[in-house]
């Protein structure tokens, strides 16, 4: 396991293409200036030991020094020890609706982004719990398996979008079935599934699959994102609106929050429906729900004793800088024999 302490210093690497451009400019300028002084044959006689290859080699070595310097400033750290840590919590799985209707902007910035913000804030409020994330539209797919690594979970959550599933629809039954496979600890009595959706166009026999999940001890809580009045579904490209989605009759589609469906799902699974319009109230409700559950103690492993590794890269940078100083631009004997650029022709 590794950590990057100051990843912002990777921007130092942008100096390398700048250096290459300056080097090419100097070469062109020097050649034009020399041509004004004398022709190429005379220049070869006046400076027979001058090597273009050695000049390029010096730039390459200097670039390698910049690479090492950049990594030294970033300071990579490597975990050298694994410790087993005991935690107390519940298993929390989030099923996030990524169907096209979640692009509606009746709640800022849109339903999907609002849903991701809610899940992120909920994860931030958790302590010793484990989390997993599922995405679904026309079909369901695992996004993050059950884990205690909240940072990774939020990273993968941020990349979720409506293009992740080619088939459209809202396969809530598949999402619940997939969630059942996430709870890999048979001793965990408290299993929680949060479904974040606009509640529209749920397909399949939802009631039967919800009851099956309840028998497995899974409590399903639904969070509704959107408004009852609804909004059209914008189709954008590179952030620019192209058109609004239309049906087969060329009528503009208006998607509305289906609270009744979400309330029915929650009530059949010993859960609760939560209005997702107010982030603060959602977090308070979720915190109260989880705090009211019995916590199970479980073990997890994590890296500790991260050690700095900058000294190796700093040493490499100094080595390349010294090498760059020692390299001369005139030809050496072995280089003359190679004649890489046909400079004797």
235 Cβ contact partners less than 8 Å away, ≥ 6 residues apart = 103, 241, 242, 243, 244, 245
Provide the angle, in degrees to the nearest 10, between the axes of the packed helices 111-125 and 279-291.
40
Confidence of residue 308 (pLDDT cuts 50, 70, 90): confident
Q: Are 133 and 93 in contact (CB under 8 A)?
A: yes
- Least confident stretch, 68-82, 108-122, 246-260: 68-82
Q: Given this model, what pLDDT does residue 155 score?
A: 93
Q: What is the strand order of the sheet 91-97 is part of?
A: 140-147, 130-136, 91-97, 191-197, 218-224, 273-275
Q: Are 165 and 137 in contact (CB under 8 A)?
A: yes
Tell me whether strands 76-89 and 2-4 are parallel, antiparallel or unpaired: antiparallel
Cα–Cα distances in angstroms (integers) from residue 209 to residues 96, 124, 136, in the given order: 17, 30, 16
11 Cβ contact partners less than 8 Å away, ≥ 6 residues apart = none
Query: Domain extents for the chain?
Result: 2-75+309-338, 84-300
Q: Are 134 and 95 in contact (CB under 8 A)?
A: yes
Structure tokens given for 155: 């990273």
Q: Given this model, what pLDDT does residue 29 score?
A: 85
Q: Is the pTM of this model over 0.85?
A: no
Strand partners, 308: 77
Confidence of residue 345 (pLDDT cuts 50, 70, 90): very low
Burial of 153 (0-12, 13-18, 19+ CB in 10 A): buried
Residue 95 is classified by DSSP as E
Over residues 85-97, mean pLDDT: 83
CATH architecture of 84-300: 3-Layer(aba) Sandwich (3.40)
- In angstroms, the CA 203 to CA 174 distance is 9
- Residue 201: CB atoms within 10 A of its CB come to 18
Residues 186-213 pLDDT 10s: 766 678 999 999 987 666 567 888 888 8
- In angstroms, the CA 117 to CA 96 distance is 11
Residues 11-63 pLDDT 10s: 999 999 999 999 899 888 877 777 776 666 666 665 655 667 778 888 899 99
Q: Given this model, what pLDDT does residue 297 score?
A: 63
Burial of 96 (0-12, 13-18, 19+ CB in 10 A): buried
Confidence of residue 282 (pLDDT cuts 50, 70, 90): very high
Tell me whether strands 273-275 and 218-224 are parallel, antiparallel or unpaired: parallel
Q: Given this model, what pLDDT does residue 5 score?
A: 81
Residue 9 is classified by DSSP as G
Strand partners, 301: 84
Burial of 42 (0-12, 13-18, 19+ CB in 10 A): exposed
Residues 129-153 pLDDT 10s: 889 999 998 889 999 998 888 989 9
């Amino acid at each position: 396991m590794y950590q990057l302490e100051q990843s912002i210093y990777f921007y130092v690497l942008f100096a390398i293409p700048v250096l290459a451009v300056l080097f090419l400019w100097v070469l062109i300028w020097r050649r034009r200036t020399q041509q004004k002084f004398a022709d190429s044959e005379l220049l070869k006689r006046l400076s027979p030991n001058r090597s273009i290859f050695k000049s390029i080699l010096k730039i390459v070595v200097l670039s390698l020094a910049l690479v090492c310097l950049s990594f030294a400033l970033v300071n990579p750290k490597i975990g050298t020890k694994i410790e087993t840590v005991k935690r107390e919590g519940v298993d929390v799985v989030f099923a996030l609706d990524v169907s096209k209707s979640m692009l509606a902007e009746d709640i800022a910035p849109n339903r999907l982004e609002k849903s991701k913000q809610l899940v992120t804030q909920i994860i931030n409020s958790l302590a010793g719990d484990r989390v997993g994330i599922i995405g679904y539209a026309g079909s369901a797919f695992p996004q993050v398996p059950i884990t205690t690594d909240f940072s990774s979970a939020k990273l993968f959550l941020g990349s979720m979008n409506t293009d992740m599933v080619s088939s459209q629809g809202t396969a809530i039954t598949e999402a619940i079935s997939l969630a059942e496979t996430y709870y890999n600890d048979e001793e965990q009595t408290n299993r929680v599934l949060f479904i974040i959706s606009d509640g529209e166009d749920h397909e399949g026999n939802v009631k039967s699959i919800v009851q099956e999940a309840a028998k497995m001890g899974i409590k399903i809580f639904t969070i509704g994102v959107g408004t009852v009045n609804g909004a059209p579904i914008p189709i954008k490209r590179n952030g620019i609106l192209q058109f609004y989605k239309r049906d087969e009759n060329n009528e503009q589609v208006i998607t509305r929050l289906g609270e009744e469906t979400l309330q029915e799902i929650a009530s059949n699974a010993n859960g609760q429906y939560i209005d997702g319009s107010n982030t603060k109230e959602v977090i308070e409700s979720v915190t109260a729900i989880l705090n009211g559950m019995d916590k199970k103690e479980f073990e997890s492993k994590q890296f500790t004793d991260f050690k700095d590794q900058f000294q190796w890269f700093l040493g490499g940078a100094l080595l390349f800088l010294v090498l760059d100083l020692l390299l001369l631009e005139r030809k050496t004997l072995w280089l003359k024999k190679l004649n890489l650029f046909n400079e004797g022709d």
